[in-house]
Structure 1
Amino acid sequence: MPLPTDPARNLSALLRCPSVTPAEGGALGALEALLKPMGFTVERPVFADSGTPDIENLYARLSGNGPHLMFAGHTDVVPPGDEAAWTHPPFSAAIANGEMWGRGAVDMKGGIACFVAAVARHLEKGSALKGSVSFLVTGDEEGPAINGTVKLLEWAAERGETWDAALVGEPTNVDVLGDMAKIGRRGSLSGRLTVEGVQGHAAYPHLADNPIRALTSMLDALLAEPFDTGTESFPATNLEPTSIDVGNRATNVIPARATLDFNIRFNDHWSAESLQDEVCRRLEHAASDTRYRPGKTKPISFSLEWRDWPSEVFLTRDERLVGLLNKSIQAVTGREPQLSTTGGTSDARFIKNYCPVVEFGLVGKTMHMVDERVPLDDLETLTKVYQHFLEDWFA
């Protein structure tokens, strides 16, 4: 049976699987079928947790004597949206104008398809791996990320698996392949502020206490002063309000409470704990502000709830790993990538607790959009970058 050396053929097999989170959709089965002919042992553990859907994952390993390199990613995708708005059906893997179309083409089935092809080409050359390669692939990256990579890492570590380095195939490039690799990520912290007031008639504000007025002063306290000006490797910490709600449809009623949801992306000046302390300090100071509440002298009554799990900031300082990836990108594309820490979170935030991790994948311009697609030339180029990296890593 021929080895899966063609990234476009590999991607076509994956794209035809409607693996919208949390559905496996056949994608992990398709990946298993690509890996087994190369000698990989494949396991597909399912993890569960209360209040969340069960998630199927995949761990595959090709063992050898030497360092252990992990490739990590996900086969789950976001919903395609209005399928009628797509130029080609979102799970057709159609090829047109030199591009392959489909949900997950760049985020991130394309990266998986290319790394599979890179390993296959390395083996086809008769080059035995001077070490081990593993695929750690989840079906829960686009979902709540509870029954995916976190538990898959724990499951593998409990079985004695250790890794020397990891490469995540998320789409990292902005405009052209080779312009950006990720060597770290900002932290992410989300919270909900609830301000209590006194409901009343809008014509008699002195008999009520409008929580919207109070919320305005507290939001101003969060936004007025910058948290920092950035660090050597990261941009400035930034807080964004994401929702304000009072649950009030009446135009003549002062509501009883108001809530603010917010998210902070933070740099290595902070930990999640120190940033939480700073947010609390600002809110407690603002609670005594009566400028927005005429006639009110009592401090604002509020509560603060931290949402989900905070994602800690990290920066990969492994010079060999970063240097070999940088060298491979330059050798194949002729471009020196920006070594960046921008963007959102990825599963690298979990992997960094086990080994140094870097990220490099396709151009992300169409990810999550209608008509997500990838140039066939980019699939070939990324495969060559991964192959060059493999050869250098195991040299």
Structure 2
Amino acid sequence: MTKEEQLAVFKKIVSINSVNDNEGEVADYIASLFKPYEGDDVKIEHVAYSQGRDNLVVTIGHGDRVLGFSGHEDTVAPGDLSLWDTDPFHPVVKDGKLYGRGACDMKSGLAAIVVAALEILEKGEQLPGKIKLLLTVGEELGNMGAAQLTKLGYADDLDGLMVAEPNDDLHKITYACKGVIDYHVTSFGKAAHSSTPEKGFNAIDPLLEFANEAKAALAKFDHADPILGKLTHVITKINAGEQINSLAEKAQLAGNIRNVPEYPNDMIYDTLNDIVEKLNQQPGVHLVIKYTFPESPMGGDPNSPLLKLAQQVAHDQFGIDAEPVTSTGANDGQEFTQSKKEFTSIEMGPGTDTAHQPNEYCNLDAYYQAIEFYQAFAKAFLSVK
């Protein structure tokens, strides 16, 4: 493919508005690119998550050794459009950068792994193994597509996974991530005039008790992981009351926890559930807790063979000395590595620090380089005996 053709794929994917929805259109477009090659060497599978939201799995080649490439099709919302210099869904190239929503996170990496695979097919190269593209929905809202594909067994044959998330234009490799737990607590009370509080029950009071107890309990989980550091816990949302002279009939709060392997998700759930259960023993108290975006922490090894191979290819082919790093954020690899087969996942892709920002962009030199890197990395990985 020419650079113009490579750029056209990138621009088309960015132009599709897939803000937390509509990933099916992205999947359909990418599937159409592989359709001419479909047959014994190429398998294309749409895996519906819901109406208009399709994951896409493309498997290329034959052999026992399998390398996965992961990319998500969704983006976050563009936010205040007045802060954008251009339409976020009409990609613009300026000064060697492509601007648009998702240009960095992560339609640059998504396009790069797609184009890399297409070029392998275009050249008629026979690989000593398989490449599997795992293209997902709902990553920004909780890795929903990756969780679905994992449960369906699509990662059970992987020997390694490259997640093409932006990582300092290929100069960093993420090998471990903290877990994520978002929790929501609702307190139910009984409304009454504030001058006669004995006639009601203020839903705010037990919610405040929960907040204090949760903060104290989670503060005891203070051992630092040698790679990922300490667990963090922040209460980020509180909503309660209708007006100042009425007892609150309902009160809600939400918190975010980033945990480490020493304190797995189940331990966090047990801790918070015990607080709710204890408080609910008090007269009039009715608390309900629910969890969203639960993502287990993913440990890792900065000296794993997969990471070392990525470093070697980046250095030998492109003169890049990629630095192993950890992350407090989540990625689809944390879901895929919960498959039946154990394998290593790393994160390495084009893009810098403009994800989720107005005027998001990707350096096109990094995008073109990523295409070459993914091809070289796939050949090196599948050639390992």
1:189 matched to which residue of 2?
181
**Correspondent of 1:216 among 202, 208, 213:** 208
The 2-side partners of 1:12 and 1:231 are apart by 41
2:254 matched to which residue of 1?
261
The 2-side partners of 1:202 and 1:285 are apart by 27
1:292 matched to which residue of 2?
none
CA-based RMSD of the aligned residues comes to 3.2
State the TM-score, normalizing by the size of structure 1.
Answer: 0.82
1:227 matched to which residue of 2?
221
Taking every aligned residue pair, what percent have the same amino acid on both sides? Answer: 24
The 2-side partners of 1:154 and 1:196 are apart by 36
The 2-side partners of 1:179 and 1:76 are apart by 24
**Correspondent of 1:129 among 123, 127, 130:** 127
Cα distance, 1:25 vs. partner?
Answer: 6.1
- The question of 1:312 aligning with 2:296 is answered yes
**Correspondent of 2:332 among 327, 331, 347:** 347
Unaligned runs of 5+ in 2: none
Go from structure 1 to structure 2 and tell me whether the alpha carbon gap of 1:91 and 1:197 turns closer, same or farther (over 3 Å shift): closer
Unaligned runs of 5+ in 1: 289-297
Q: How does 1:128-167 map to 2 (within 5 A)?
A: 128-143=126-141, 145-146=143-144, 148-155=145-152, 157=154, 162-167=157-162
**Correspondent of 2:112 among 111, 114, 117:** 114
Does the 8 A contact of 2:130 with 2:382 survive in 1?
Answer: no
The 2-side partners of 1:16 and 1:258 are apart by 41
2:268 matched to which residue of 1?
275
Does the 8 A contact of 2:83 with 2:358 survive in 1?
Answer: yes
2:56 matched to which residue of 1?
58
- The question of 1:382 aligning with 2:370 is answered yes
The 2-side partners of 1:350 and 1:390 are apart by 22
Go from structure 1 to structure 2 and tell me whether the alpha carbon gap of 1:35 and 1:78 turns closer, same or farther (over 3 Å shift): same
Go from structure 1 to structure 2 and tell me whether the alpha carbon gap of 1:143 and 1:311 turns closer, same or farther (over 3 Å shift): closer
Does the 8 A contact of 2:15 with 2:91 survive in 1?
Answer: yes
Go from structure 1 to structure 2 and tell me whether the alpha carbon gap of 1:312 and 1:130 turns closer, same or farther (over 3 Å shift): same
Go from structure 1 to structure 2 and tell me whether the alpha carbon gap of 1:333 and 1:118 turns closer, same or farther (over 3 Å shift): farther
Cα distance, 1:18 vs. partner?
Answer: 2.7
Cα distance, 1:133 vs. partner?
Answer: 0.7
1:243 matched to which residue of 2?
237
State the TM-score, normalizing by the size of structure 2.
Answer: 0.84
Go from structure 1 to structure 2 and tell me whether the alpha carbon gap of 1:156 and 1:212 turns closer, same or farther (over 3 Å shift): closer
Cα distance, 1:223 vs. partner?
Answer: 2.1
Cα distance, 1:169 vs. partner?
Answer: 1.0
1:335 matched to which residue of 2?
321
Go from structure 1 to structure 2 and tell me whether the alpha carbon gap of 1:240 and 1:28 turns closer, same or farther (over 3 Å shift): same
1:394 matched to which residue of 2?
382
Cα distance, 1:204 vs. partner?
Answer: 4.6
Go from structure 1 to structure 2 and tell me whether the alpha carbon gap of 1:80 and 1:226 turns closer, same or farther (over 3 Å shift): same
Deviations 1:306-330 (CA, angstroms, capped at 9, x unpaired): 2236222222458221221233344
Cα distance, 1:37 vs. partner?
Answer: 5.0
Does the 8 A contact of 2:70 with 2:161 survive in 1?
Answer: yes
Go from structure 1 to structure 2 and tell me whether the alpha carbon gap of 1:258 and 1:61 turns closer, same or farther (over 3 Å shift): same
The 2-side partners of 1:269 and 1:193 are apart by 25
2:30 matched to which residue of 1?
31
Does the 8 A contact of 2:24 with 2:53 survive in 1?
Answer: no
